[in-house]
Structure 1
Amino acid sequence: MVPTPDTFDYVIVGAGAAGSILAARLTEDPGTSVCVLEAGPPDRNFFIHLPAGFIKTLVDPSVTWQFSTEPTDRTGGRRIKTIQGRTLGGSSSVNGMIYNRGQPADLDSWAQRGNRGWGYADCLPYYMRTENRIGYGRDDRRGKSGALPVTDMDWVHPLSEAFMEGCVAAGLPRNPDYNSGDQAGVGYYQRGIQKGWRVSAARAFLKPAMGRPELEVRTNARACGIVFEGRRAIGIRYVTERGGAVREVRARKEVILSSGTVNTARLMQLSGIGPASTLARIGVPVFHELPVGENFRDHYASRLVMRAKPGVETLNELARGFGLVKQVARWATGRPSMLATAPSHVHLFWKSFEGLDEPDLQGVFTPGSYAEGKVYVLDDYPGCTAGAWQHRPESTGWVRAKSTDVFEDPEIQPNYLSDENDRRVHIGGIRLIRRLLHMPQMMKFLERETLPGPNVDRDDELLDFAYRNGSTTYHLIGTCRMGPETDRTSVVNDRLQVHGLEALRIVDASVMPSMPSANTYATTMMIAEKASDFIRGRAPLEAAA
């Protein structure tokens, strides 16, 4: 028997980047009550807040969803971990902390698909409302009074400087602010770190709002179904443990799903909303047929590793023994330290082939050598790692529930590199990174390429290397795509309301119509800021000039 439900104005499923912002914005209105359901625990784990702690939290199932993709020939038959956050702050509590908006054309393409008000000029004020840019940035492009601090790298390494010098020598410009609307070039990443600590969406937005009596946050609350009255969403069913009692919370005004690209799609499917074939496979009657779970995309990266010359100190030595002791001491005394850096130090945005108008690649550089086939696991020899991925992959896949058990992971199939052009761009990215790693400025410090190695050079060999060693960048989007009702691939309209249903809205990365030329965190926050105005009945912010 389901206990008598509590009732709020809004029920938000998920306390990640989007849910945290929505909870904060909606409860700014006096008398507006909000209940947030988070499947994970409170964010009390110390390693969530220490920037370098992501190495531990990424493999900790107590604060992450340890999802894996389905194997294909183009992943060498491997399942690839595609981990997402499961705690207050969601993935913003376990991600690489990079703040990256992408290119204006990304959003203009959304508007061109029939999504009114989603062009770059419309969305820029919402990016700005979120951020507190601490550092260089144009006043008409960067926010200075938002809740999320966006800071510059304050701990630099000689190899990072050499890599940037080599990029400039190869024709890439130094870019002082890749978030200004002009992305091309090389420089240090901007990140959500302040005074040595990670600033997650929960810390920036949710925690300050949790003192309001109108906001209730329930952790360890795993949503298992949407409650409907006719075509109107009126609540959420959830459980706190496997086999436990089903509880229910009701919404007077709206139910808002913000649980991420995988979990939002799964919850919709478990509630009878999705493709008939998917629902039939798990024995759920069709309540409303929509392409939920389809149109899934992710960035797929390949990384090259170089061995350093004897005597060159890299992260590999600094992360062990006395080197680590020194870095801990620096961090504890408030000085710049590798413990307060993002996993990727240097960015580059450039072209896979000459003649392109805009960059179609994002590259990363770290002054440490990662182990073969393992993301963010340092090898036992000193070196450096650089990789690249395609901005806008065309390879699409799906997320499909395997059963009605909300504790069973869904089937996740990105179909990495299934598109021919994606393979061509990926090869171009590997060749660009290899050229930059072998620039004279770098070879003063480096001995040789260890991964994939100089003997791997033909296109088919490089693709085989990508299949066997590539990995996700955890940028999952698209399973509840935004578009007009006439677009048969879309799930929500341009106000993020689910087509054909009432009082049900989706606000997270699953609504992105196409992949931004960037990490997805900043754009997810922008979407939530914009959605909060829709929900509150506010006029949109004035479009940028």
Structure 2
Amino acid sequence: METPDYIIVGAGSAGSVLAERLSAGGRHRVVVLEAGGSDRRLFVQMPLGYGKLFYDPSVNWMYRTEPDPGLAGQADFWPRGKLLGGSSSINAMVWIRGHRQDYEDWQAAGNPGWGWDEVLSAYRAMEDNEAGGDAFRGKGGPLFVSANRDGLHPLVTCYIDACAEAGLAFNPDFNGARQEGAGPYQLTVKGGRRNSAARAFLRPAMKRANLHVVTGAQATRVLMEAGRAVGVEYRHGGELKTLRCKAEVILAGGAVNSPQLLQLSGIGPGALLQGLGIEVLRDNPNVGDHLADHQGINYTWRMTRPTYNDLLRPWYGKLAVGLRWLALRDGPLAKSINHGGGFFRTSPDLDRPNMQLYCQAFSTLMPREGERPVLSPDPFPGFSLGLSNCRPTSRGHIRLRTPDPLAAPVITANAFSTNHDVEEMLAAVKFLRHLAAQPALASVMAEELRPGPEVVGDEALIADFRARSGTVYHPSCTCRMGPDEGSAVVDASLRVHGVAGLRVIDASAFPNIIAGNTNAPSMLMGWKGAERVLADAR
């Protein structure tokens, strides 16, 4: 393999965008090392097929956290994408940029160029929004974003009407002028197929002669010489190989794998690395620290009207929607299960929404072994309202368990470890019941199934959400951006502090967690990160 200018480790949401932008123009030779395999699989391309990928080790790292006191001692399950497109190939496809103030906070923390005006310009350049271009939305960019206005389940209208009755106004675009309100979610779906980062960015770029993608290549450490990253060691086809580069190594493995690889390479908490027999090349205890994630829970009701359970549960319903999708790329399989949602404040004193809503016209109370039963829901008309916290204050960490690069790291989530997060979630679940009591929803509900009407009082509600909450798959901030190595891992250009020729460009570099789904800001990291790399190259 010819020596490239840039090595990108990870072909996920950020890595796919990086590969496209760095290889554009043909000036730079780029190699992408991806531990997983191809995204050309039926249930990857089928939007609602992601339930089949939830426990599939061929496309999923299938991590487990340490037992978490905040989740009643449970070890939470963390699916992460292990294929081209990364988690954008197995996620629920909801496209949320985050609140404008999130980015103002990033810039105020000492990260110039990451304020709202700058990221809005990048998002507009990146997107081809079905709703059309305007001051907030982009048109003509490489990433098609569905406005998701057609084919919504009828109960979504009931949900939106109930939100209005509860004081939460309709919002046609959470990525527009304001985030607060209720409405349909924009989705990364194009032509009835998942529009992952791989489909939108990487695969078109793979036609270029100066981009080479190696699948089944798991990086084991960054090669260092005299304080500079010069290449990557990786396992491929059962062999240990090395690849050197002329310019830079860029880690884009995400919030778990990027800090893991830094630690394996001798960059991280010195005492931990010494204890594992790893030579400390740069002692920075922030590597793997500051882990932030959104915690979510569903409340579920039996309905008096049909839901997707009635359609997707019986074999003949599965056959009908499957044939419809195969023939027309249409119907329930052509969308996320999250048709609608929204953002609200648990207190009017807050300056912005602190909770996210999810409206799902189906339910999965009855588990199936080895599968998230999105395609095999409950045998009754079920309906779920979910929520997740937008700005939790609880923080965890990622640590090597062993110097074996193929072993999963220790993930300590520390969910609900602050009183702030517990009190906020308590207020939020009370709002879910308030929402369900509004005439537009109450008129079509038969009974509450989870947690059940017997769960009342603050202690019982807290015990319930500790027992039933879990990640909504948005880990971030473990190699966070900031001007000072005393509190961060990378600078505003995403260069690792104190190490030449090495950057981290993915969700691990978020200075703070974004309010909303993290796939859009992960792609943003790749887009703006590439700008910084190319600017330095010039």
Instruction: Give TM class, smaller chain.
Output: over 0.9
What pairs with 1:241-390 in structure 2 (closer than 5 Å)? 244-290=238-284, 291-309=286-304, 312-320=305-313, 321-334=315-328, 336-371=330-365, 377=374, 378-390=377-389
- Is 1:71 equivalent to 2:67 in the alignment? yes
Q: Deviations over 1:185-221 (max 9, x none)?
A: 0001000111110011011001011111101000000
Please state whether the residue corresponding to 1:11 is helix, strand or coil: strand
For 2:25 and 2:226, the matched residues in 1 are separated by 29
> How far did 1:372 drift?
6.5
> How far did 1:277 drift?
2.7
Please state whether the residue corresponding to 1:40 is helix, strand or coil: coil
The answer for the alignment partner of 2:498 in structure 1 is 500
The answer for the alignment partner of 1:424 in structure 2 is 423
The answer for the alignment partner of 1:408 in structure 2 is 407
What pairs with 1:52-451 in structure 2 (closer than 5 Å)? 52-135=48-131, 139-153=134-148, 154-240=150-236, 244-290=238-284, 291-309=286-304, 312-320=305-313, 321-334=315-328, 336-371=330-365, 377=374, 378-451=377-450
For 2:410 and 2:367, the matched residues in 1 are separated by 22
For 1:419 and 1:284, the matched residues in 2 are separated by 33
For 1:27 and 1:348, the matched residues in 2 are separated by 37
Identity %: 38
- Is 1:526 equivalent to 2:524 in the alignment? yes
> How far did 1:324 drift?
2.2
For 1:454 and 1:167, the matched residues in 2 are separated by 21
Normalised by the length of structure 2, the TM-score is 0.96
The answer for the alignment partner of 2:460 in structure 1 is 461
For 1:109 and 1:72, the matched residues in 2 are separated by 29
> How far did 1:466 drift?
0.9
> How far did 1:436 drift?
1.0
> How far did 1:357 drift?
2.6
Deviates further, 454-463 or 411-420:
454-463
Deviates further, 329-338 or 159-168:
329-338
User: Is contact 1:373–1:469 with CA below 8 Å preserved after alignment?
Assistant: no
For 1:14 and 1:50, the matched residues in 2 are separated by 23
Structure 1: unaligned runs, 5 residues or longer: 541-545
Q: Give 2:27's match in structure 1, choosing from 11, 24, 31.
A: 31
The answer for the alignment partner of 1:45 in structure 2 is 41
> How far did 1:326 drift?
2.5
Aligned residues: 530
For 1:192 and 1:82, the matched residues in 2 are separated by 21
The one-letter amino acid of 2:144's match is P
Structure 2: unaligned runs, 5 residues or longer: none
The answer for the alignment partner of 1:543 in structure 2 is none
Deviates further, 337-346 or 368-377:
368-377
User: Is contact 2:129–2:147 with CA below 8 Å preserved after alignment?
Assistant: no
> How far did 1:538 drift?
7.5
The answer for the alignment partner of 2:507 in structure 1 is 509
> How far did 1:151 drift?
0.6
For 1:538 and 1:497, the matched residues in 2 are separated by 11
Q: Deviations over 1:386-406 (max 9, x none)?
A: 111111111000011111212
User: Is contact 1:195–1:334 with CA below 8 Å preserved after alignment?
Assistant: no
User: Is contact 1:222–1:239 with CA below 8 Å preserved after alignment?
Assistant: yes
The answer for the alignment partner of 1:480 in structure 2 is 479
- What CA RMSD, in Å, does the superposition of the two structures yield over aligned residues? 1.7
User: Is contact 1:63–1:87 with CA below 8 Å preserved after alignment?
Assistant: yes
> How far did 1:327 drift?
1.8
Please state whether the residue corresponding to 1:224 is helix, strand or coil: strand
For 2:521 and 2:417, the matched residues in 1 are separated by 26
The one-letter amino acid of 2:214's match is R
User: Is contact 2:337–2:361 with CA below 8 Å preserved after alignment?
Assistant: no
> How far did 1:432 drift?
1.0
For 2:298 and 2:143, the matched residues in 1 are separated by 30
> How far did 1:373 drift?
8.0
> How far did 1:376 drift?
5.7
The one-letter amino acid of 2:220's match is C
Stretches of 4+ aligned residues off by more than 4 angstroms: 372-377
Q: Deviations over 1:164-184 (max 9, x none)?
A: 111111111110111014101
For 2:365 and 2:242, the matched residues in 1 are separated by 46
For 1:325 and 1:123, the matched residues in 2 are separated by 43
> How far did 1:356 drift?
2.4
User: Is contact 1:155–1:341 with CA below 8 Å preserved after alignment?
Assistant: no
Please state whether the residue corresponding to 1:156 is helix, strand or coil: coil
Please state whether the residue corresponding to 1:474 is helix, strand or coil: coil
The answer for the alignment partner of 1:489 in structure 2 is 487
The one-letter amino acid of 1:286's match is V
Please state whether the residue corresponding to 1:191 is helix, strand or coil: coil
The one-letter amino acid of 1:254's match is E
For 1:85 and 1:174, the matched residues in 2 are separated by 33
Normalised by the length of structure 1, the TM-score is 0.94
